[in-house]
Amino acid sequence: MKLLSLDGQEAGIPAEAIQAFRLAFKGQVVLPDDPAYDGLRKIWNAMIDRRPGVILRCLGTTDVITAVKFVAAHGLLSSVRSGGHNIAGLAVCEGGVMIDLSLMRGVFVDTERRVAHAQAGCTLGDVDRETQLHGLATVMGFVSDTGIAGLTVGGGFGYLTRRYGWTCDNVVAMNVVSAEGKLLRASADENPELFWALRGGGGNFGIVTSFDYRLYAVGPTILGGALAWRGEDARRILAAYREISARAPRDLTCVAILRKAPPAPWLPKEVHGQPIVALFLTHCGAEADDSLINELRAVMPPIADTVTRRPYAQMQSLLDATQPRGRRYYWKSHYLARIDDGLIDVLATRLKDIPSPHSGIILFQIGGALNELPPAHSPAGNRDATYVLNISSSWERAEDDTVNRDWARECFAAAQTFATGGTYLNFLTEEDGGARIADAYGPENLRRLAGLKRKLDPANLFRHTKAVI
């Protein structure tokens, strides 16, 4: 077993230590010569092509503790994979140990307490399926294949954010394996500083093996779907989107997407491949009021309209087809306090020169509950934001890397003057270093995180992350 140490050198691990580890670890030990290795090392973003020295597929928390103790005892480079959906690809390290939690996908719903206990290998779809059996939900993202662990420790937002805040605002407790290989409980009452740090501070402080989420009455059916117009009408539609979303009740969330029309059956064939602007709308209230949606329809007749009563879990997966595993992805993002006229001009202009049929510009509406808490409530911070702008570049061939990344960077730069200066941690790519990470947390939160990191993980064992030091 050839593995790299934290300093990048090949680690010499005694044979008896490897044998003792294999006896203690009950999950799967996957080496590079294993037929399953290539499939397991690959993650959602095909831009990431690293080869870990070993993949440890944990069956439960005891396996995670065993893996962490082994890594710590021998000073090994390691990474943690949960859903493997993160844009930066930090789930995979080159030559080190990948601690893989993807087999840990149990969900238990406590209907009396309205709490979901979910293991860290779960996807959003796993949690939604189990909670919706009881007409309950928590704040999750927009793509059902996303892992809950990375989403949550990086902040997290979705269709329920306007009503209930960041995903991390709705965590009531976590089980965490520390750098010392100890199992800790993190909540408002137990290890409260660690609990604070893990709600948006990334994977710097330990490996979360399970989350307890607060649940709310949602569904099982809601009002949701999409309206679409031709790209030439983008300025007019975005202006209407700005005005109507600003006065929408918190049960109604509007997501605007500018892209080339995919060959989807809900879109007319004559617009396939042509620029469009689409609004994905979800009203999760007990009594769905479609009056504002009708105002959007009245701006000008949409070329497609799929807004109807549908299962909430189905709404949660409507965008899945836009982000399949195995494409090449590169994102840039801003937080916005509002949508200025100048930004509308930038987005409408950039829509015309999107180089890939899979790329898009997305405006996520998030304003509401999260704005009512102070910046220090959690490291996710950025509680002055009401929208997230995501320049989502996606393509298939490596030879197209330069043109697609350049388009995203140029769009990001053109929009920067309209941004708050903050950014969403989970949308940062590997090239986004210290300054951009500081923008995600804010200076005071960053100092607090760095101090806790030095205390809890002085050897920086959990370094294959969006680092705070």
SS (H, E, C) the chain: CCEEECCCCEECCCHHHHHHHHHHCCCEEECCCCCCHHHHHCCCCCCCCCCCCEEEECCCHHHHHHHHHHHHHCCECEEEECCCCCCCCCCCCCCCEEEECCCCCCEEEECCCCEEEEECCCEHHHHHHHHHCCCEECCCCCCCCCEHHHHHHCCCCCCCHHHHCCHHHHEEEEEEECCCCCEEEEECCCCHHHHHHHCCCCCCCCEEEEEEEECEECCCEEEEEEEEEEHHHHHHHHHHHHHHHHCCCCCEEEEEEEEECCCCCCCCHHHCCCEEEEEEEEECCCCCCCHHHHHHHHHCCCCEECCEEEEHHHHCCCCHHHCCCCCEEEEEEEEECCCCHHHHHHHHHHHHCCCCCCCEEEEEECCCHHHHCCHHHCCCCCCCCCEEEEEEEEECCHHHHHHHHHHHHHHHHHHHHHCCCCCCHHHCCCCCCHHHHHHHHCHHHHHHHHHHHHHHCCCCCCCCCCCCC
pLDDT tens track for 104-126 = 999 999 999 999 999 999 999 99
Domain end call among 395, 410, 427:
427
Are residues 282 and 417 located together in one domain of the fold?
yes
Are residues 156 and 73 located together in one domain of the fold?
no
The CATH number of the domain holding residue 376 is 3.40.462.20
Q: What's the Cα-to-Cα distance from 158 to each of 137, 339, 354, rounded to whole Å?
A: 11, 19, 25
Task: Tell me what pLDDT residue 383 has.
Answer: 95
Are residues 362 and 388 located together in one domain of the fold?
yes
Are residues 419 and 315 located together in one domain of the fold?
yes
Average pLDDT, the chain: 96
CB neighbours of residue 431 within 10 Å: 10
pLDDT tens track for 206-262 = 999 999 999 999 999 999 999 999 999 999 999 999 999 999 999 999 999 999 999
Residue 403 reports pLDDT greater than 90: yes
Residue 157 in any domain: the answer is yes
Residue 438 in any domain: the answer is no
What's the domain range around 119? 107-217
Nearest Cα residue to 434 out of 459, 401, 469: 469
The CATH number of the domain holding residue 116 is 3.30.465.10
Task: Tell me what pLDDT residue 286 has.
Answer: 83
Are residues 261 and 368 located together in one domain of the fold?
yes
Distance (Å, whole) CA 226 – CA 280: 4
What angle do the packed helices 434-441 and 443-456 form, to 10 degrees?
Answer: 110
For residue 92, give both structure tokens.
Answer: 């995979």
Are residues 112 and 225 located together in one domain of the fold?
no
- Strands 171-177 and 136-137, bridge-based pairing: unpaired
Return the C-alpha torsion angle 454, 456, 459, 461, nearest 10.
-120
For residue 123, give both structure tokens.
Answer: 């996807």
CA 225, 230, 231, 237 dihedral sign is: negative
Domain end call among 100, 128, 148:
100
What single-letter amino acid sits at 251?
A: D
How much of the chain, in percent, has pLDDT values that exceed 90? 95
Distance (Å, whole) CA 46 – CA 63: 28
Are residues 90 and 176 located together in one domain of the fold?
no
Residue 466 in any domain: the answer is no
Q: Give the total number of structural domains in the chain.
A: 3
Residue 342 reports pLDDT greater than 80: yes
Are residues 182 and 317 located together in one domain of the fold?
no
Residue 348 in any domain: the answer is yes
Q: How confident is the model at residue 175 (pLDDT cuts 50, 70, 90)?
A: very high
Are residues 192 and 225 located together in one domain of the fold?
no
Residue 446 in any domain: the answer is no
Distance (Å, whole) CA 346 – CA 391: 12
Residue 452 in any domain: the answer is no
The CATH number of the domain holding residue 74 is 3.30.43.10
Residue 441 in any domain: the answer is no
Tokens 């590997």 correspond to what residue? Answer: 430
Sorted by sequence, the CB contacts under 8 Å of residue 34 that are 6+ apart come out as: none
For residue 12, give both structure tokens.
Answer: 């010499």
Are residues 145 and 124 in contact, defined by beta-carbon separation less than 8 angstroms? Answer: yes
Residue 431 φ/ψ region, left for φ over 0, alpha for ψ in the -120 to 50 degree band, beta for the rest: alpha
Are residues 171 and 92 located together in one domain of the fold?
no
Residue 180 in any domain: the answer is yes
Domain end call among 217, 232, 259:
217
Task: Tell me what pLDDT residue 453 has.
Answer: 98
Distance (Å, whole) CA 69 – CA 179: 8
Sorted by sequence, the CB contacts under 8 Å of residue 185 that are 6+ apart come out as: 173, 174, 175, 176, 191
Are residues 198 and 326 located together in one domain of the fold?
no
pLDDT tens track for 381-397 = 899 999 999 999 999 99
Are residues 115 and 263 located together in one domain of the fold?
no
Distance (Å, whole) CA 305 – CA 279: 10
Q: How confident is the model at residue 323 (pLDDT cuts 50, 70, 90)?
A: very high
pLDDT tens track for 275-288 = 999 999 999 998 87
Distance (Å, whole) CA 122 – CA 104: 7
Residue 289 reports pLDDT greater than 80: yes
How much of the chain, in percent, has pLDDT values that exceed 70? 100
CB neighbours of residue 104 within 10 Å: 23
